[in-house]
Structure 1
Amino acid sequence: MAIVLTDSLKKLLIETASQLFGAAKRKFMAQTVQGLGLGGQRLAQSELGWNRDTIRKGTRELKSGIICVDNMSAKGRYKAEEHLPNLLEDIKNIVDSQSQIDPSFKSQRLYSRLSAAEVRKQLIEKYGYSDEKLHTFLFNSSQIK
């Protein structure tokens, strides 16, 4: 006997799953698929758009009682270099021209008298970066006290 999901049931299952995250979402998906019976994973994949790997992970968690820890901290935003590929090189060009060696020669470090706000200003003036693009990556002069 083939299982048929009505449109209203599909909508309910999809909306409920979208409101859950991590282990709770996987548990819901696994329990739903178990309720659908044989062929439930394929049905959930084709009709609900659920990932079968996620369903399997949830099923293993249900059977074993061991919940996998999600590495949510690794899902941060992309590095600035991915959005602005020339940013690092442009910052180096600005800072290198204003850098000097430690006057006491006690270290190999270079020092610069430029503030973050000044580097930001020069990126906009010399390299044509927009204020909006730099807003999330570099300090805004109003944020620096």
Structure 2
Amino acid sequence: MKIPQVMLTDTIKSTFKDAAKKLTGSRKRDFMAKVTEDYFDSSARKAETVLGWNRQSVQLGLDERRTGIVCVDNYQARGRHKSIEILPNLESDIRSLVDAKAQTDPKFQSTFLYARISARAVREALLGEKGYDQSELPSRQTLGTILNGLGYRLKKHKKPSP
């Protein structure tokens, strides 16, 4: 079955696409649904074919217009969460390991604690002493960032001269 093409010029199509790109969330879905109702007989499939819009988004917009209920977007749930949020005991475990090996600046020029331990050693201690799993624990670089955020300055390993 062939979907009939709506007679829209390329200028009008590009205008609709530009307008949709400038909107987000429920406003964008409402705009796409309105265009679909007016030009594509409320067919999300036709709007997808002609304008390249996501058919599920257009259909959701049509449903929102029909029912009057607007879906709430949960943007906070997207993306990767911080290791401290995923592993709630990680911060206290790091502090318990590093505090024993930390010292203040001898000249008291900064508030940072200097840790005489590397991020790699902290990671190995978390694996061995605290019972963390290799896959759940963040990388050495991430642990270094966490340690810096907690107010520690790490021991720097000097590279041997060639």
Could you tell me the TM-score, scaled by structure 1's length?
0.57
**Residue by residue, what CA displacement relative to the aligned partner does 1:16-54 show, whole Å, maximum 9, x if unpaired?**
111111111110010000011337422321222211111
Residue in structure 1 matching 2:73, options 70, 79, 90: 70
Instruction: Give the Cα–Cα distance (whole angstroms) in 2 for the partners of residues 118 and 67 of structure 1.
Output: 52
**Residues 1-145 of structure 1 aligned to structure 2 (within 5 Å):** 2-38=5-41, 40-75=43-78, 77-79=79-81, 111-114=96-99, 118=115, 121-123=118-120, 134=142, 138-139=145-146, 141=148, 144=151
The structural deviation recorded for 1:138 is 2.3
**Secondary structure of 1:138's aligned partner:** helix
The one-letter code of the counterpart of 1:138 is T
Distance 2:117 2:37 in 1: 56
Do the aligned partners of residues 144 and 21 (structure 1) sit closer, same or farther apart at CA in structure 2, a change above 3 Å counting?
same
Please tell me whether the aligned partners of residues 33 and 42 of structure 2 are also in contact (alpha carbons under 8 angstroms). no
1: CA distance, partners of 2:11 / 2:117 = 53
Structure-2 change in CA distance of 1:9 and 1:122 (3 Å): same
Cα distance per residue 1:65-85 (max 9 Å; x no partner): 11111112111x32568xxxx
- What is the SS of the residue equivalent to 2:47? helix
Given the two structures, how large is their TM-score scaled by the length of structure 2? 0.52
Structure 1: unaligned runs, 5 residues or longer: 82-87, 100-110
1:117–1:73 distance in 2 versus 1, CA, 3 Å: farther
- In 1, distance between residues paired with 2:10 and 2:40? 19
What is the number of equivalent residue pairs in this alignment?
A: 116
Determine if contact 1:45/1:51 at 8 Å carries over to the other structure: yes
Deviations 1:72-127 (A, max 9, x none): 2111x32568xxxxxx9xx9xxx6xxx9xxxxxxxxxxx3125798599534xx99
Give structure 2 stretches of 5+ with no counterpart.
103-112, 125-138, 153-162
% identical equivalent positions: 26
CA spacing shift, 1:139–1:130, aligned 2, 3 Å? closer
